[in-house]
Amino acid sequence: MHQKQNTMKITIIGGGNMGGAIARGLAQSSVFKASDITVVDIHEAPLNALMAFNSDIRTSLKDYDSVADADIILLAVKPWLIHETLSSVRPMLNYNKQILVSIAAGVTIDTINEVLVRREDATPLPVLFRLIPNTAIAIKQSITLIASHNASPEQEKLLVKIFDELGTAVVVDESKLTAGTALTSCGIAYLFRYVRAATLAGVELGFYPSEAQNMVVKTMLGAALLLDENKTNPEIEIDKVTTPGGITIKGLNELEANGFSDAIIKAMKASK
């Protein structure tokens, strides 16, 4: 069993769906003790939920004092609250010692810097990371995209280590984050929509909804693991179950006749 470090502390500002999920995941990781995690929110409900999950997680209602002692400050607020939040915590930040991380979709590093560098003593420039996780982070299965600014290789490795324990972390250029969001963060919703549609088909074919959904979900898990472990092109795996004149090719042709691939491509591009 990994021994957790005793000195690293993190403050997560925003305890909603994503911030709360990250706090839960980190509390079970090898990097942080639950007592070294502080979650700040303007509402009591998400904080109460975190305390019910693990009473060692520290919570704070509308109080940012923990920012001053944190090694990492993670902004998990809505994009339109970033400016206000940064303005509130800016006086407590120490750019020599702290790492600032934002998961606010669409808020660029330049936008964050516009608020932070107003301080005359903002030297050196802050170490900033933008992260795009998806909701599977709640079960430590997120694909998390990471872009950095002014970070050392060691700091990048630290962020990758932290979020590898909550799934898989991938470092990308910030210019690719928006496109990556379509594939990963939005993409998980598209997969859920497929599960829903396939489940409805299963009900029409005679199964109870719970039975159909279980079959579809387990099939999706198996398909994903095949591709992940074999590193094969999906068409190779499709060929394995597509026999001449068989039922699979009939279904595949029906999907394409109704624009299946085109709809997915258009959805991804629309999300960019």
Q: What is the pLDDT of residues 72-97, one digit of tens each?
A: 999 999 999 999 999 899 889 888 88
Two structure tokens written together for 201: 């088909």
Rounded to 5°, angle at Cα 29 from 148 and 32: 75
Q: Which of 133, 135, 79 is nearest to 106 (CA)?
A: 79
Per-residue pLDDT reduced to its tens digit, 192-230: 999 999 999 999 999 999 999 999 999 999 999 999 999
pTM over 0.95: no
3-state secondary structure of 269: helix
Q: Which of 81, 79, 74, 41 is nearest to 59 (CA)?
A: 41
Provide the phi-psi class of 62: left if phi over 0, else alpha when psi is between -120 and 50, else beta: left
Q: Buried (b) or exposed (e) across 55-92, using 16+ Cβ within 10 A?
A: eebbbbeeebebbeebbbbbbbbeeebbeebbeebbeb
Cα→Cα distances 268→88, 191, 246, 256, Å = 35, 12, 31, 17
Per-residue pLDDT reduced to its tens digit, 132-186: 999 899 889 999 999 999 999 999 999 999 999 999 999 999 999 999 999 999 9
Looking at every residue in the chain, the average pLDDT score rounds to 92
Tell me how far apart the alpha carbons of residues 123 and 142 are, in angstroms, rounded to a whole number.
Answer: 34
Two structure tokens written together for 93: 């930040």
Two structure tokens written together for 148: 């950095």
